[in-house]
Structure 1
Amino acid sequence: MTSSFLPLITQIDHNFLDRNGSGLPVPPGIPARSQWLHEEAPYAILAHGTGADPYFIYANQFALSCFKYGIAELLQLPSRLSAASQDRSERERLLQDVTLHGIAYNYSGPRVDKYGHTFTIYDGVVWRLSRPDGSPSGQAALFWNSERERPAWYRGIR
């Protein structure tokens, strides 16, 4: 794992715990939690920063495989481009809900990869990120790329 992502995935996980009451889903007995979330999680974890048109600041390996970008490419991408133009207003409504309420559950919808191919995300959770001092630092998302298929250890969220 690129060590520069360790503090960020740790912050994303802690913010999820603060908003959800439990950390990101991980099988029992994982000693290097942040590394597992970055390299081996069977679901996507993404985050974007703050601003009027925020850029991605994080993606785990699973998210990169869904969107078909390398990490350097994705970190130069405004997060709005993860949805096709006709789907961006729905995405924006979701992000506004997260801004107001801190977390949103059970989102499914279309996304678009680097090559313009559409795929569907399932059981999405989006939550507000904050720094240790409480100031906003962006939003993060978790999603699955299959409607029903989950690992045996997964017990759901919430």
Structure 2
Amino acid sequence: MEDIVRDARPEDALRVHEIMVADHTMTGTMRVPHQPLEYTQNRMASDPAVFKLVAMRDGKVAGYAELVTAPDAARHSHVGEINMICVHPDSLRKGVARQLMAEMIRMSDDWLRLKRLGLYVWTDNSGAISLYQEFGFEVEGTLWAYVWRKGEFLDAHVMGRIV
């Protein structure tokens, strides 16, 4: 079966929820434990300014990503934010995040006319930082004590890509 990236659909919610509640997702994002399936379903609801994608491997959702845009903001409509890239525990380190990032970059460059893409990443997430750098993102600054995680404050890099 072919590996593809496509729009997220309501029937993907249970598998996306498995990704969202995985420990590695909570460690790398702002999510907190014990969120109900309904939270994920609501997050996946249609929003014309947020492109929600899934990577499919062997007919199953292997990853989920969100590209947030601001089409109604006249002076900010050229900017997008990679809000989330997360991978199912069964598919870690298999190129799923790279596949999702490549599709978001393609959409940004070829369809949405986005001049700037930005994202936040925890400073200890070296794998993600390397991936983002491969796609042309650069560290633009560091936000000290940005997030509370497992009993301590953690810093975040702001990364950006200008085309």
Normalization by structure 2: what TM-score?
0.31
Greater helix proportion: 1
1 or 2 for the larger relative contact order (CA 8 Å, sep ≥6)? 1
Instruction: Provide TM-score, normalisation by structure 1.
Output: 0.32
